[in-house]
Amino acid sequence: MSGNTWGRLFRVTTFGESHGRALGAVIDGCPPGIPLSEEDIQQDLERRRPGKHRGESPRKEPDRVEILSGVFEGLTLGTPIALVIWNKDPRPSAYEPLKDVFRPGHGDWSYYWKYGRRDWRGGGRASGRETVARVAAGAVARKVLATYGIEVRAYTVALGGIRAEKWDPAEAERNHLFCPDPEAYERMCARIEEARREGDSLGGVVEIRATGVPPGLGEPVFDKLDAELAKALMGIGAVKGVEIGAGFAAAEKRGSENNDPLTPEGFLSNNAGGVLAGISSGQEIICRVAVKPIPSIAKEQKTINERGEPVTIRIGGRHDVSAIPRIVPVCEAMVRLVLTDFLLRQLALKAFRTHEPLP
Ligand SMILES: Cc1cc2nc3c(=O)[nH]c(=O)nc-3n(C[C@H](O)[C@H](O)[C@H](O)COP(=O)(O)O)c2cc1C
Ligand SMILES: C=C(O[C@@H]1CC(C(=O)O)=C[C@@H](OP(=O)(O)O)[C@H]1O)C(=O)O
């Protein structure tokens, strides 16, 4: 396994480099009969696309997806779905001066040691641009999950030290805000602008919530739902930590505070974040990811080149000040891929348990 494929029953392979010809995904295992159009996928890609706001990379990528296979007369066929997004605005020449220099914090150094050579054009496959393919695949998962009433939404809850105090997704959606607290949103935007002027970058925290998840999704030991969520989210570039439910705060609580009491009307709290013993409890699934500041910054940094010589660099080019907000739809996509895979596994188990006849 080359590490480019995700999932067991709903399998996703992504391909492509940031400054190559195209990126894309092949999805194997999507059930037949799901309505799917390029427009369905496009709406998710639009939220991730660079160049929309100040503080985001100004690279102008239309990020138009083409469905090459697996869909006929507007419905999935059950056969592999191939999606492609052509790169329209690569500018590899901007990376010529960095060709043999390792940018601190990026994948240049570690890719060099793994492969012995690397695509120096913008981080190649280590680029955040790879996530366009995951968001495209995640849109297909969104359509599958919708047939069971499962929805996933994510928002930024902290950025550059500013915390959201409110969770008002309806308001955020109405005004296209990446943060569910409009007041914190304004301060976050100002903080991004400030960091941009200083030639620096910012990190933050994204919270992802999944509603409508039935109890029973997950596996008991290695493929625990929380383990797979953590793996999927940690697999996004710049993500450095994952919490489920109370997460690290659970370590500070007593059992009497941390347990979620059960009543005939349901659970009284959700410190578990919707996962018990690796299997969904039927409560909302809640995860948070810690996103590090963007490594490519205009401020002066010390590094070395491939000959081991010391070099001082200031990185120019078209970089985001923060992976937030563009990472928000990527987090949603990854959670959708995990839930879709587990939904299909549980449906297979349920059909067997109830001995549903085959045609
Ligand atoms: C949506 C998104 C956008 C990103 N934009 C940039 C960027 O403009 N410049 C940059 O140097 N890194 C950017 N990154 C972060 C790097 O891709 C990431 O730091 C790199 O792959 C190294 O991986 P690691 O941070 O997980 O160690 C972005 C990441 C994501 C997910
Ligand atoms: C192009 C996208 O993000 C890129 C992520 C990225 C990186 O190093 O991660 C670096 C920048 O690209 P470039 O290689 O052109 O300098 C960003 O623009 C995208 O997300 O579509």
Residue ranges in the chain modelled with pLDDT below 70: 1
178: which residues sit within 8 A by CB, 6+ positions away? 155, 156, 172, 185, 324, 325, 328
Q: Is residue 324 part of a domain?
A: yes
- What ligand has the least distance to the C-alpha of 62? 2
Q: What is the pLDDT of residue 228?
A: 98
Q: Is residue 321 part of a domain?
A: yes
| Residue 77 DSSP class | -
Ligand 2 neighbourhood includes 59 CB (under 6 angstroms): yes
Query: How far apart are alpha carbons 182 and 188 in whole angstroms?
Result: 10
285-291 and 239-244 beta bridge pairing: antiparallel
Q: Write the residue with the smallest CA distance to atom 5 of ligand 2.
A: 128
Q: Write the residue with the smallest CA distance to atom 8 of ligand 2.
A: 127
Query: Is residue 251 marked as binding?
Result: no
Q: Give residue 241's domain range.
A: 5-353
| Residue 108 DSSP class | H
| 294 CA from centroid of ligand 2 (Å) | 10
Model-wide pTM > 0.95: yes
Q: Is residue 147 part of a domain?
A: yes
Q: Write the residue with the smallest CA distance to atom 12 of ligand 1.
A: 294
Query: How far apart are alpha carbons 297 and 315 in whole angstroms?
Result: 6
Q: Is residue 315 part of a domain?
A: yes
Q: How many structural domains is the chain composed of?
A: 1
Query: How far apart are alpha carbons 46 and 310 in whole angstroms?
Result: 41
Q: Write the residue with the smallest CA distance to atom 21 of ligand 2.
A: 129
Q: Is residue 359 part of a domain?
A: no
Query: Is residue 295 marked as binding?
Result: yes
Give the long-range contacts of residues 158-165, CB within 8 A, separation 24 or more: 158/204, 158/205, 159/188, 159/191, 159/192, 159/202, 159/203, 159/204, 159/205, 159/322, 159/324, 160/188, 160/191, 160/192, 160/195, 160/202, 160/203, 160/204, 160/322, 161/191, 162/187, 162/188, 162/191
| 320 CA from centroid of ligand 2 (Å) | 8
Q: Is residue 358 part of a domain?
A: no
Closest ligand 2 atom to residue 57 Cα is 18
Q: Is residue 241 part of a domain?
A: yes
Q: What is the pLDDT of residue 169?
A: 86
Query: How far apart are alpha carbons 314 and 248 in whole angstroms?
Result: 36
127: Cα separation from own chain's centroid: 13
CATH number of domain containing 128: 3.60.150.10
The ipTM, to two decimals, is 0.99
